[in-house]
Amino acid sequence: MPKVGIGAMCVYVPPFHVDSFNLAVARKEDPKRFTERVGIKAFAIPGPNEG
């Protein structure tokens, strides 16, 4: 039986990010909802020229 496995792996992290505090303020929500309950400080988002 031939051996099968992962030959390579690539990870792309977009250069743009959203700060969860700013997102909460824009949505008129408590910033602690993201930082304490969910545990997210910031997250990456694709740029305007990315699909």
Percent above pLDDT 90 for the chain: 41
26 — alpha (psi -120 to 50), left (phi > 0) or beta? alpha
Question: Is a pLDDT exceeding 90 seen at residue 51?
Answer: no
Contact criterion met (CB below 8 Å) for 14 and 51? no
Indicate yes or no: pTM above 0.85.
no
CA 25 to chain centre: 18
